[in-house]
């Protein structure tokens, strides 16, 4: 008897189950526009309450995929507005991180009182550039939902496209910096070989991790608008806690726990191993990094999707 | 849950040849907003308010137990005072706002023309906005390329299509918004107080376009304070009062009852197309 009284009232998932759902294998939306005209039941939507619940994931993902062009178009317009398509706009994207790397290099050289030389500069550049890809994904991603106000108020579409588009934008900005890194890589006389291909899966994992964190902060930003003002400090501290201004091996034992807690540590250490040390990344680090990337992506994504129906009311 | 739909928000299934005739079916729909007291919710404000023991969110019942059906090809007029919940109802039907209780069933592709202007970004050009909006609505690039010329021609913007939308007059803004909404090949068109834009000529043109859509048996929901257009265009009308369904009947009767309620009489100002 006690058990019965404890059962919660019909949960939302139960109402879902009662929804008249049939497993129609026909996806009408792929039909050409003319085919829509013959029947009005070609697309049927049922809206029912699940404010803090998850919509069915599979159709959601399909909706995201169907609108992928929107993600790219949005990031393209954003880039165009920052003069990405002009010569000086591109040049600035290269000069800015290069100067930043130079400043950090001089700073670290002075503090360490011994020269790391060109290979260390290459390590710093590689780490810094990829970290800035991560940081700008997260910073822009956090603003994407709040900044996308009108579109959200007026159009029904999967909102995850907004933070994901920020990651695409950050990636487009990251690409030109790869070119200067390549130059530095050769100047520093670092090994060139097939092992460099490992950088691709490592970068992919960093991108997946960045997407997850971007979605998490984008949703949180709706509820706490002051988040964006202290986000730069978070990324700054994160930068210092990552093996970028130093090699991972140099970290004294008493600071090891901090490094171990940093989700970017395994990824950035592998990144430097491949690009700088010219060796294959350790399997342990790669798996560790992959685990973080997947956890962040799934957690951030689910949090975002479960909240996104509320955004239209909260903006 | 096996469902096949393009819209992730809807637990939707493509049901070929559903016997039901309704295009929009709203069943005891309630929508309650939770908005924060502060203009912008921040962590600081929440902590301060919690510290003072104040509530941080306020609930607003925008709609209460509203039920109705709209058959295919009908034009539904929605009337009611400001704050009666008309825009909320339209947004819920469009799938933008989640219902708090009840159920909304929509058959077909929905296109919206809402009071806030279809989500245009004022710093982008008209062209970029049309493309972005169309892609967000789920059109493909090819479909859009086919429609773009029609949209631009109908809006009569000429070279302004390639200028940032902040340079537009409000009439031009509205014309483009209307043009986008009607050219998205909608089965259901939701229009929220947007006919006030444009000059008399464009207004006539938009009326004609809407009649054309009706003739193709598209469903239209029209939110307006212009009771004249409710009478002229609609064949069904709903009067919302403080979030509740006050009346659902023929447009003539609803307009009559509503004007009697407003106690203004059928004067020129009310009937005139605003």
Chain B CB within 8 Å of residue A127 CB: no
Question: Is position A23 within any domain?
Answer: no
Q: Does B27 map to a domain?
A: no
What's residue A43's pLDDT? Answer: 64
- Predicted pLDDT of residue B209: 85
Q: How much is the pLDDT for A5?
A: 38
CB contact A88 to B (< 8 Å): no
In a domain, A154, yes or no: yes
What's the pLDDT score for residue B48? Answer: 79
Any domain includes A44: no
Tracing tokens 């619940």 back to the chain, one arrives at: A53
* Section A209-223 average pLDDT: 94
Tally of domains in chain B = 1
pLDDT for the residue numbered A33: 37
**Closest Cα partner for B220 from B210, B206, B212, B228?**
B210
Max avg pLDDT among A185-194, A305-314, B27-36: A185-194
Say which range, A185-199, A293-307, B9-23, B258-272, has the weakest mean pLDDT.
Answer: B9-23
Mean pLDDT computed over every residue of chain A: 81
Q: Do B10 and A157 touch (CB under 8 A)?
A: no
Which tokens belong to B98? 């989640």
Could you tell me the residue range of the domain that residue A113 belongs to? 61-314
**Cβ-based neighbours of B248, under 8 Å, separated by 6 or more:** B68, B236, B237, B238, B239, B254
The verdict on residue A98 lying in a domain is: yes
Do the bridges between strand B75-79 and strand B57-71 make them parallel or antiparallel, or are there none, so unpaired? Answer: unpaired
Nearest residue of chain A to residue B45 (CA atoms): A224
Residues of the domain holding B120: 71-271
- CB contact at 8 A, A141 and A217: yes
Say if residue A50's pLDDT is above 70.
no
Provide the pLDDT confidence category of residue A200 given band limits of 50, 70 and 90: very high
Kindly report the pTM of this predicted structure.
0.80
Measured CA distances, A315 to B34, B40, B143, B210, B255 (Å):
11, 9, 31, 31, 34
pLDDT band at residue A35 under the 50/70/90 scheme: very low
pLDDT at A18 over 50: no
Residue A50 distance to chain B (closest CA, Å): 7
For strands B219-223 and B188-192, give the pairing. Answer: parallel
Inter-chain touch B6–A73, beta carbons under 8 Å:
no
The answer to the question of residue A39 being in a domain is no
Lowest mean per-residue pLDDT among A7-21, A138-152, B55-69: A7-21
The pLDDT of residue B265 is: 52
Local confidence pLDDT in tens for the 274 residues of chain B:
333 334 444 433 333 334 457 888 898 888 887 776 666 677 777 777 777 777 667 778 888 889 999 988 888 999 888 888 888 898 888 888 888 888 888 888 888 887 555 567 778 888 888 888 888 888 888 888 888 888 888 888 888 888 888 888 888 888 888 888 888 888 888 888 766 666 788 888 888 888 888 888 788 898 888 888 888 888 889 999 888 888 888 888 888 888 888 876 555 555 555 4
The CATH number linked to B190 is: 3.40.50.300
Residue A3 inside a domain? The answer is: no
Nearest-neighbour CA in chain A from B263: distance (Å): 33
Number of domains in chain A: 1
User: Distance (Å, rounded) from C-alpha B163 to C-alpha B179?
Assistant: 17
Strands (E), B126-218: 188-192
Which residue of A70, A156, A222 is in closest CB contact with B94? A156
Any domain includes A302: yes
Top residue of A42, A44, A54, A153 to mutate, by most chain B CBs within 10 Å, is A44
Q: Under an 8 A CB cutoff, do A62 and B98 touch?
A: no
B242: in domain: yes
- Looking at chain B, which residue has its C-alpha nearest residue A65? B6
- Indicate yes or no: CB of B13 within 8 angstroms of CB of A153: no
CA distance B27 to chain A (A): 10
Buried b (16+ CB within 10 A) or exposed e, A112-140: eeeebeebbbbbbbbbbbbbbbbbbbbbb
Residue A7 domain-assigned (yes or no): no
Query: Does a structural domain hold residue B181?
Result: yes
Average pLDDT estimate for A81-110: 84
- In a domain, residue B83? The reply is yes
Q: Within an 8 Å CB–CB cutoff, is residue A48 touching chain B?
A: yes
Residue A299: the pLDDT is: 96
CB-based contact A69 B8, cutoff 8 Å: no
Q: Which residue of B has its CA nearest to A55?
A: B9
- Pairs of CB atoms within 8 A across A/B: 242
Give mean pLDDT, residues A19-42: 35
Contact criterion met (CB below 8 Å) for A22 and B13:
yes
Would the ipTM clear 0.90, i.e. be above it?
Answer: no
Residue B239 domain flag? yes
Question: What percentage of residues in chain A have a pLDDT greater than 90?
Answer: 43
Q: What is the C-alpha separation between A140 and B55, in angstroms, rounded?
A: 31
Tell me whether residues B109 and A19 touch, CB distance under 8 A.
Answer: no
């Amino acid at each position: 008897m006690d058990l019965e009284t404890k059962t919660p009232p019909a949960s939302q998932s139960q109402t879902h189950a009662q929804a008249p759902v049939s497993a129609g294998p026909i996806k009408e939306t792929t039909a050409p526009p003319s085919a829509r005209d013959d029947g009005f039941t070609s697309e049927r939507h049922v809206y029912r309450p699940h404010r803090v619940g998850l919509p069915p994931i599979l159709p959601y993902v399909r909706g995201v995929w169907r609108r992928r062009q929107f993600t790219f178009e949005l990031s393209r317009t954003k880039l165009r507005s920052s003069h990405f398509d002009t010569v000086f706009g591109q040049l600035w994207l290269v000069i800015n991180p290069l100067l930043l790397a130079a400043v950090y290099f001089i700073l670290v050289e002075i503090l360490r009182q011994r020269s790391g030389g060109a290979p260390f500069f290459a390590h710093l550049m590689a780490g810094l550039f990829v970290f800035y890809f991560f940081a700008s994904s997260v910073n822009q991603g956090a603003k994407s939902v709040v900044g996308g106000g009108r579109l959200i108020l007026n159009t029904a579409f999967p909102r995850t496209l907004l933070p994901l588009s920020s990651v695409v934008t950050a990636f487009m900005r990251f690409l030109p910096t790869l070119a200067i890194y390549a130059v530095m890589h050769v100047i520093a006389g670092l090994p060139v070989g097939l092992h460099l291909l490992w950088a691709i899966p490592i970068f992919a994992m960093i991108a997946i991790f960045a997407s997850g964190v971007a979605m998490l902060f984008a949703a949180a930003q709706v509820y706490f608008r002051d988040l964006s003002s202290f986000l730069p400090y978070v990324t700054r501290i994160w930068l210092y806690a990552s093996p970028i201004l130093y090699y991972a091996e140099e970290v004294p034992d008493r600071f090891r726990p901090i490094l171990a807690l940093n989700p970017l540590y395994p990824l950035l250490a592998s990144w430097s191993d491949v690009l700088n040390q010219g060796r294959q990344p350790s399997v342990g680090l790669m798996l560790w990094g992959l685990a973080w990337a997947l956890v962040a992506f799934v957690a951030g994504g689910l949090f975002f999707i479960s909240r996104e129906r509320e955004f239209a009311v909260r903006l | 849950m096996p469902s096949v739909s393009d819209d992730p928000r809807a637990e939707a299934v493509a049901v070929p040849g559903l016997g039901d005739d309704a295009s929009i079916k709203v069943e005891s729909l309630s929508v309650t907003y939770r908005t924060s007291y502060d203009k912008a919710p921040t962590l600081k404000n929440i902590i301060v308010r919690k510290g003072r023991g104040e509530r941080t969110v306020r609930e607003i019942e925008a709609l209460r137990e509203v039920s109705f059906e709209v058959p295919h090809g009908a034009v539904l007029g929605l009337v009611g005072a400001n704050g009666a919940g008309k825009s909320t109802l339209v947004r819920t039907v469009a799938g933008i706002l989640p219902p708090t209780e009840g159920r909304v069933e929509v058959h077909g592709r929905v296109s919206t023309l809402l009071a806030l202007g279809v989500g245009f970004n004022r710093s982008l050009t008209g062209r970029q906005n049309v493309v972005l909006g169309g892609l967000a609505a789920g059109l493909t690039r090819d479909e859009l390329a086919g429609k773009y010329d029609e949209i631009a021609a109908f809006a009569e913007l000429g070279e302004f299509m390639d200028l940032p939308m902040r340079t537009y007059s409000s009439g031009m803004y509205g014309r483009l918004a209307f043009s986008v909404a009607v050219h998205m090949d909608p089965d259901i068109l939701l229009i929220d107080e947007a006919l006030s834009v444009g000059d008399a000529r464009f207004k006539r043109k938009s009326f004609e376009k809407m009649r054309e859509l009706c003739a193709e048996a598209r469903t239209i929901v029209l939110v307006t304070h212009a009771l004249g257009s409710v009478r002229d265009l609609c064949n069904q009308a709903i009067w919302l009062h403080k979030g509740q369904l006050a009346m659902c009947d023929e447009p003539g009767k609803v307009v009559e009852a509503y004007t009697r309620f407003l106690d203004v009489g059928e004067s020129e100002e009310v009937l005139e197309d605003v």
